[in-house]
Structure 1
Amino acid sequence: MEHIALYRAWRPQSFQDMVGQQHIIQTLQNAIREDRVSHAYLFSGPRGTGKTSAAKVLAKAVNCERGQGPEPCNECPSCLRITAGNVMDVQEIDAASNRGVEEIRDLRDKVKYAPTEVRRKVYIIDEVHMLTTEAFNALLKTLEEPPPHVMFILATTEPHKLPATIISRCQRFDFRRVSLEEQTGHLKQICEKEGISADDDALQYIARLSDGGMRDALSILDQISSFTEGQVTYQQVLGMTGGIPSEQFARLARAILEGDMGLLLELVEQLMHEGKSADKCLENLLYYFRDLLMIKMVPNADHLTDRVLNPADFKDMATAFSREQLFGIVETLNRYLGEMKYATHPQTLFEVALMKLCSLQESASVPADAVISSGAFQGAAAGGAAASDPDELGVLKKQIAALEKKLEQALQSGGISGGREGAQARPASVPSAAPRISTASKMPPQVDKFIAGKDSADFASIYKQWSLVLQGVKEEKITVHAWFVDGEPVSVMEDAVLVAFKNTIHRDTTEKPANRQVIEGVLAARLGKPYRLVTIMLRDWNEASMKSAEQPGKEELRLEHEHEAGAAKQEPWIDEAIQLFGEDLVVIKE
C-alpha cells in the first residue's frame, strides 16, 4: 500500500482529534448543538495549527446526514465524500492561486444556486489575505448577506492584512501554537499506533523545533523515523535536524566564561566538521543564552526554555554568569546574527562573535580601581564610568590650561561686563570662569592651503560629483550616510577633501575610523583617485575664509555704530572677550 505522510494520515477528522484548540472546539460545538452557526468564520493563526482541518470538520458537522451534532459521524456518505473532497457543494479555494476579482465574481455568481448534494454550501478560502483589494471589494456584499444555504470559512496566517470591513463581517477565531506538553503527548500516541519506538527526549526536542505547529512536528517525525527504521533517539534527531546538543552549548559557554579563545575556536572547528552551518550555530547559541537568562531570572522556567531540555541541570551555568553579562551576550549575539545574513564568510563572523564575547568577559573582570582617573574625572571613575584615553586627556588638560591663561590675561587688562544681566566680571582666580571645551572647534592642519584651493578646478569637479559620492556611501552603509549627509565639500588640497559640518555629533561620528574607511573607499571609487577625508565645522570654515579675505592694505568698508567703534579702539580687551565668549554672551556697558 502506498505510504501516506504522517501529517496527512493523522489529519483531524473530528473536533476531538484536534490538539491544543479547546477554546475554539467548544465554541463551535455549542453553536452547532444550539443551531446558532454563523454564515461567515475567520480562522487565523500560525501555520500547522489546524485552521483548514477545523474548517473541513465544521463543513462535515453541518452537513452530516445523521443530523447536526457536536461531532460529525464520519460514516455517512456525506461525511465520507467531504473527507475525500468529492462534494461539489463544499469547495476549498486557494486564494493564492485565485486572487483576482474575476475568480471572486465567479464565486459570487454561483453562491445564489441551492446545493445539490448536501444541506449547506461551504466555501473554505485558504490564505485569504492573498486576495487583491478589488477581489475583497467584490466579496464584501456577498459575505455580509449570503443566501441562507451558504457558509464562508476564511483561513489566514496574516489577519492584519485583511481589510477591517472583511473582519467585521466574520466571527473570528484565533488558533494558538500547540503547547510543548500537548505536542509531546500527541506524538507519543502516534508513535504507539504507528509502531515507532521513540525516546521521550527525542519527541520533546521535535516538539521544540516545530515552534508550536503540529504539522511541522509530524513532518519531522516522519522524516526521522524513515531514516532510523522506526528507532528514534535524541542523538539521531540532532543529527538529522542539524541541532546541537545542550552539552556542547555548555562547553561553549564555559569557554566564554573562562576567556579561553583557543578552546572556543577548536569547538567551532569541530562543529563545522560535523556539517553544522555557522548561522544556525549562532542562532542556537543565542537561544541557549536566552534560556540561561530565563533560568536565572524566572523561577520554575522549565516551560520558557527552548534549547535546554532539563533546566535544573543548567542552574550552575546560569549562576556562573551575572545578569549584566547575560544581557550583554544576548545583545552581542543578536547583533552579529543580523549581520551574518549579509556575510560572505559566516564561519569567520561566528568566530569573531565568540572572541568578542571573550573580550567582553575580560573587560568585565578588570577591577574598578584600575580605571584611569584624573582631576575632574575622578568622581565619574569612582562611580564606575569608563575613563577617557590618556593621550586625549592630556590634550584636553593643555587646552584648558591655555584658555585659563588667556582668560587671566584678559581679566588683568580690565574688567569684563559679561552676561545678559550686565553682571561684574569674576576675579581671575575663580575656577568657574574657565569656558567649557568643545572638541568641535578643532581646526584641521594646513587650513590655509584649503582656503587657497576652494576655487580650484579640482574642487569644482568634485563638487559636481558629490551627489554620486553620497549615493555611493548610502549603498555601502546607510547608517554612515545618515551622518555624512550633514556635511558639504568646501575645498580640496592634493589628496584631501575638506568637508564642513553644521552639527558636532555628525562630524564626530563621521570621524570614527570605521566610518572614515567607508567614506574614503567611496571617494576613491567615485572620484577616480584616492582622497583623504578632512573635516571642519562650517562656522570655523566661514570664519577662516573671512579672515583670509581681509588682505593688508585693503580698507574694508563696514557700517558700525560710532560708540562701538570708539569703544573697540579704546578697549582692545573687548575683542578678546567677544572671541572667547561670543557676541551673544557679551554686553558692553559704559
Structure 2
Amino acid sequence: MSYEVLARKYRPQTFAGLTGQEHVSRTLQNAIDTGRVAHAFLFSGARGVGKTSTARILAKALNCEQGVSLEPCNVCPQCKEITDGSSTDVFEIDGASNTGVDDVRELRDNSRYLPSHSRYKIYIIDEVHMLSTNAFNALLKTLEEPPPHVKFIFATTEPHKLPITILSRCQRFDFKRVPLIKIVGRLREIADQEGIVISDAALALVARKGDGSMRDSITCFDQVLAFCGNTVADEDVATLVGVVDRRLLAELSSAVFAGNTQGALEGVRRVDAFGYNVRQFTQELIIHFRNLLIIRSVPKPGEILDLAEAELEELRQQAGEQSAADIQRRLTLLVKAEGEMAHASFPRLLLEMALLKMANLQPVLPIQQLLDRIKHLETGIAQTTPELWSAPATAQQSTPRNIAPPRQEAAAASVAPAPVAPAGGVGGGWERFVTFCLEQKPALGALLEHGSPLAYAPDRIEIGFPEGSYYLTSLQDVDNKKAVDALAALYMHQPTVVKVVSITAAGDGASPCSLAEKKKHDEEQRRDSIQREVNEHPVVQEALRVLGGEIVEIKEL
C-alpha cells in the first residue's frame, strides 16, 4: 500500500478543522446559514494556509446530499467524491497550466449546462493570477452574470496581479499566516495520533521552519519522522531543518550581557564549526535580541511575539535585569554588522568585532539619574559663576543692563551647604526600583516617587504615604497593588511582599523622605546657592552700587 503523506492525510475536511483561519470559516458559515452565498469568491494568502482546502470544504457544504449545511457530512457520495477529487460537478483547475483564452472559453461554454447529479457546478481555479489578460476578459461576462447553478472559487498568492474588473466581481477573503503556537498545537495533535514521541521545543523548531504555512510545517514534520522514526530528539530536528540551535543563541547573548568576551568568541567558533552560514546566523541573532528588546519594552510581549509560552519564559530569564536601552544599543551594532556582511570578504570577522563591542558596552544610566547627579554636584560643590546674569536696575537709567562677569577659574567664596541627606532607603536600591517601575509603567512609577521607603529588602518592601493623600488611595487600589507586586517580583527575581501603609500608622519615628521630596529639596538648595552666589559676586555688587539698582530676577542662560 502506498504511503500517504501527512499533509494529505491530515488535510482539514470541515470548517472546524481549519487552523488559524477562524475569521474565514465563521463568515462562510454565516453566509450559508442566512442564504447569502455569493456566486464568486477570491481566497488570497500565503502558500499552505488553507485556501484550496477551504474551497473544497465550501464545495462539499453546498453540494452535500444532507442539504446545504454549515458543515459537510463527509460520508455521502458527493462529499467523498469532492474529497477524492473525482466529482464530475466540482472542477479543480490549475491556473498556471490553463492560462489561455481557449481554456476559459471552454469553461464558460460548459458552465451553461446543469450539474449532472449535484446541487451546484463549482469551479475552483488555483493560482488564478496566472491567467492571461485575454483569458480574464473572456471570463468577465460569465463571472458577472453566471447561471444560478454555478459557483466560482478563485485562489491566489498574488491578488495584486488580478485585474480590478475581476476583483470587483468577487467576495474576497484574505487568509492569514498561521500563528506559531497554533501550528505547534496542530503538530502535537498529529504526533499524538501517530504515536510519535517528540518535545514541544522540537515541534516549535519544525513550526518555525514552516514560516506561517501549515502545509509546509506538516511536510517538514513528515521529513523529520522519515529521518528519526517514532522517537525524535531535539538535536536531530535542529540538524535536519537547518535552523540555529536556540541554546547557542541563549549562550551567546548571556556571554554578551556578562561581558564575557571569551565566551562570545567561543560561540562564533562553534557557529563556524557547525557549518552555519555566518550571515544567516547573524540574522537569527538579530531576531533573538529583537525578542529580548520587546520583552523588556512592553508589558504583554506575548501579543506581539509569535512564540510559545515556554519560549517567552526562557527569553524573560535571559533578559534578566538588562534595560531596554542597553539591549537596543547592542541590537543596533548587530544590524550594522549584518548590513556590512553583504559586501564583506570576512563575515566572521565582522560578527566577532560586533560581539566584542557588545560585550564591552557600558550600561546606560537613565537621563533622570544623570540629572539628579548634576543637581547634587551643583548644590554640594562650589560652582563656577554662570557666564551671563540678567540684573535689571531701578536706578537713574530705566533700561535694564546685562552684566557679564568674567569666567572665574577658582571656586566661589561662599560654598552652599550640602543638602540634607534623605533617610535610609531612598538612595540605592529603592531609587533603582522606582526607576525600574518608571520604565515599565510610568504612571505607577510616578505614584511611587511620592512614597517613603519604610522598609526595603528583596523579600519585603513597605511604602508609606501621607494619610488621606491621593497617592495612598491610588496605591491601595486593587489593580495598582497587583501591578506593584508584579513589578517587585520581576525586579527582585523572587516573591516580594509589598505593603502600602499610612505614614501616621507607620510608627512614631520620623519617616524617610520620598524621592519627590528629595528632588524638591535639591532644587531649592540649588536655587539658594545660585541666589547667594549672584548676590555675593563682586562684579554684581559693584554694578548695583554704581547704578543704584536692585536685583529683580535671576535667569540662567
TM range (shorter): 0.5 to 0.7
CA root-mean-square deviation: 3.1
Contact 2:256 2:264 survives alignment (8 Å): yes
Cα 1:97/1:337, change in 2 over 3 Å: farther
Which whole-Å CA distance do the structure 1 matches of 2:27 and 2:306 have between them?
A: 31
CA deviation after TM superposition for structure 1 residue 123, in Å: 1.0
Which whole-Å CA distance do the structure 1 matches of 2:270 and 2:11 have between them?
A: 40
**AA at the equivalent of 2:22:** Q
Within a 5 Å distance, the mapping from 1:314-393 to structure 2 comes to 314-315=315-316, 317-319=318-320, 321-338=322-339, 340=341, 345=345, 348-359=346-357, 362=360
CA deviation after TM superposition for structure 1 residue 352, in Å: 0.6
CA deviation after TM superposition for structure 1 residue 259, in Å: 5.3
Contact 1:287 1:306 survives alignment (8 Å): no
Which whole-Å CA distance do the structure 1 matches of 2:94 and 2:338 have between them?
A: 35
**AA at the equivalent of 2:35:** D
Within a 5 Å distance, the mapping from 1:497-508 to structure 2 comes to none
Contact 1:284 1:307 survives alignment (8 Å): no
Within a 5 Å distance, the mapping from 1:570-581 to structure 2 comes to none
1:27-50 CA-to-partner distances (Å, cap 9, x unmatched) read 212322333211000111222111
CA deviation after TM superposition for structure 1 residue 317, in Å: 3.8
Contact 2:268 2:352 survives alignment (8 Å): no
- Aligned match of 1:219: 219
Matched, 1:94 2:77: no
Which whole-Å CA distance do the structure 2 matches of 1:144 and 1:45 have between them?
A: 23
1:552-588 CA-to-partner distances (Å, cap 9, x unmatched) read xxxxxxxxxxxxxxxxxxxxxxxxxxxxxxxxxxxxx
- Aligned match of 1:70: 70
Contact 2:15 2:54 survives alignment (8 Å): yes
TM-score normalised by length of structure 2: 0.60
- Aligned match of 1:236: 236
- Aligned match of 2:15: 15
Which whole-Å CA distance do the structure 1 matches of 2:184 and 2:291 have between them?
A: 20
- Aligned match of 1:191: 191
- Aligned match of 1:139: 139
Contact 2:125 2:154 survives alignment (8 Å): yes
Cα 1:259/1:96, change in 2 over 3 Å: farther
Moved more, 104-113 or 258-267: 258-267
Which whole-Å CA distance do the structure 1 matches of 2:320 and 2:297 have between them?
A: 10
1:174-220 CA-to-partner distances (Å, cap 9, x unmatched) read 22222333322222221121111222222233333323221122112
Aligned residues: 371
1:102-134 CA-to-partner distances (Å, cap 9, x unmatched) read 332332232222222422111111122222333
- Aligned match of 1:421: none
1:456-484 CA-to-partner distances (Å, cap 9, x unmatched) read xxxxxxxxxxxxxxxxxxxxxxxxxxxxx
1:492-550 CA-to-partner distances (Å, cap 9, x unmatched) read xxxxxxxxxxxxxxxxxxxxxxxxxxxxxxxxxxxxxxxxxxxxxxxxxxxxxxxxxxx
Cα 1:38/1:249, change in 2 over 3 Å: same
1:359-413 CA-to-partner distances (Å, cap 9, x unmatched) read 366465699xxxxxxxxxxxxxx9xxxxxxxxxxxxxxxxxxxxxxxxxxxxxxx
- Aligned match of 2:450: none
CA deviation after TM superposition for structure 1 residue 285, in Å: 0.7
Within a 5 Å distance, the mapping from 1:485-500 to structure 2 comes to none
Which whole-Å CA distance do the structure 2 matches of 1:285 and 1:337 have between them?
A: 10
- Aligned match of 1:251: 251
Moved more, 267-276 or 9-18: 267-276
Contact 1:259 1:359 survives alignment (8 Å): no
**AA at the equivalent of 1:326:** I
**AA at the equivalent of 1:356:** A
Contact 2:44 2:158 survives alignment (8 Å): yes
Cα 1:260/1:37, change in 2 over 3 Å: same
Within a 5 Å distance, the mapping from 1:127-206 to structure 2 comes to 127-206=127-206
Cα 1:3/1:279, change in 2 over 3 Å: farther
- Aligned match of 2:30: 30
Which whole-Å CA distance do the structure 2 matches of 1:135 and 1:334 have between them?
A: 46
Which whole-Å CA distance do the structure 1 matches of 2:23 and 2:363 have between them?
A: 51
Matched, 1:312 2:313: yes
Contact 1:44 1:51 survives alignment (8 Å): yes
Moved more, 326-335 or 285-294: 326-335
TM-score normalised by length of structure 1: 0.57
Which whole-Å CA distance do the structure 2 matches of 1:327 and 1:179 have between them?
A: 26
Contact 2:78 2:118 survives alignment (8 Å): yes
**AA at the equivalent of 1:98:** N
- Aligned match of 1:55: 55
**AA at the equivalent of 2:197:** S
Within a 5 Å distance, the mapping from 1:536-555 to structure 2 comes to none
CA deviation after TM superposition for structure 1 residue 77, in Å: 1.6
Which whole-Å CA distance do the structure 2 matches of 1:237 and 1:163 have between them?
A: 43
* Structure 2 SS opposite 1:231: coil
CA deviation after TM superposition for structure 1 residue 260, in Å: 5.0
CA deviation after TM superposition for structure 1 residue 242, in Å: 2.1
Cα 1:355/1:5, change in 2 over 3 Å: same
- Aligned match of 1:570: none
Cα 1:204/1:360, change in 2 over 3 Å: closer
**AA at the equivalent of 2:285:** L
* Structure 2 SS opposite 1:221: helix
Which whole-Å CA distance do the structure 2 matches of 1:277 and 1:252 have between them?
A: 16
Cα 1:255/1:139, change in 2 over 3 Å: same
Higher helix proportion, which one?
Answer: 1
**AA at the equivalent of 2:328:** F
Which whole-Å CA distance do the structure 2 matches of 1:181 and 1:125 have between them?
A: 31
Contact 2:337 2:354 survives alignment (8 Å): no
Within a 5 Å distance, the mapping from 1:455-494 to structure 2 comes to none
**AA at the equivalent of 2:124:** I
- Determine what percentage of the aligned residue pairs are the same residue: 45
Cα 1:335/1:52, change in 2 over 3 Å: farther
Contact 1:287 1:307 survives alignment (8 Å): no
